[in-house]
Amino acid sequence: MVDVRPRVVFVSDGQEITHRQMEALAALHRRGSMKKAAESLGLSTPVLHKYVREIEEKADAELISSTSRGSRLTKAGLELLRRFKAYELRLEDPTVLRVAGTVVSERCLLAAATELSDAGKACVVTISTDEANLRLMDEAKVDCVVLDDAMYAMERAPEAESTEIGSDMLLFKDEGPRFAKLAFGAQRLAFRFMTEKDIPHEIVRVIYEPTMVDRTDLSYFVNRSLARNGVVRAEGAKDQKWSLHSMMALECTEHEDLPLFLEEAREAWFYRKG
């Protein structure tokens, strides 16, 4: 297959600011003069002037401030260039292994990444929510997503290959019908169970920081692994046998280091045998 690469093209009020024009703006910022910027791009100075004028017309803003000492970008020009560089970075396709998980799988992923590092292999780990990590998968920014909620594996990518990292169970702290919902863990499993059993419940708060469950006076569900490895105390919370579930790794690419990473992740997971 031919080498196909994306490029950033901005659209302002229906008019395209081309990649080449943005390269000209970037060169002008680096070199500080029209002449030097044009030379660096292999252009004539009049052509560069034309590019700058077209960009300003399309953006409907003054992007360049010129004096006898040279040219520099205005605040609007710097902001446009910043956005251009940010989008350019998003289009890069790094070769390093990229994995994503949540606070539930964080220690497991970091341990696996450390083992890869010992073998001379680099790894980038992102810790967020299942929903945010699946967005990264959709944007082709990760090679693997470790899911707290295994139902996502079937809902979002049933055709993708998945690997069971281990299993976990939920603990339940009963403080009445008012609940704090954690932004991680198999929360959908928990509240679906409550609904199916007609157990009154109302979610009144979302908790993102795990240790805050130990300071809430609301009912909550939290992963047993977080209590067993000391992330939370979860005093008074009890095992929910019905909540035994798998922690699934959704393989998004065929990165050569992914099989070793998954092997190390399974070894690092607290409940390898369920």
H or E element at residue 74 = none
Domain ranges of the chain: 10-90, 97-167+246-268, 169-243
User: pLDDT higher for 157 or 63?
Assistant: 63
What is d(CA 226, CA 59) in angstroms, rounded to the nearest whole number? 51
Question: Can you state the angle between helices 45-59 and 34-41, rounded to 10 degrees?
Answer: 100
Q: What percent of the chain has pLDDT over 90?
A: 79
What CATH number is given for 10-90 in this structure? 1.10.10.10
Q: Do domains 97-167+246-268 and 169-243 have the same CATH topology?
A: yes
How high is the pLDDT of residue 274? 40
Which class would CATH give 97-167+246-268? alpha beta
How high is the pLDDT of residue 67? 83
- pTM for this structure? 0.79
63 within 8 A of 74, measured Cβ to Cβ: yes
Beta-carbon contacts of residue 114 (< 8 Å; ≥ 6 apart): none
pLDDT above 50: residue 1? no
CA 184 to chain centre: 14
| Pairing mode, strands 64-67 and 70-73 | antiparallel
What topology is assigned to 169-243 in CATH?
D-Maltodextrin-Binding Protein; domain 2 (3.40.190)
The two structure tokens encoding residue 103: 């606070």
CA 272 to chain centre: 26
pLDDT above 80: residue 270? no
The two structure tokens encoding residue 22: 């943005």
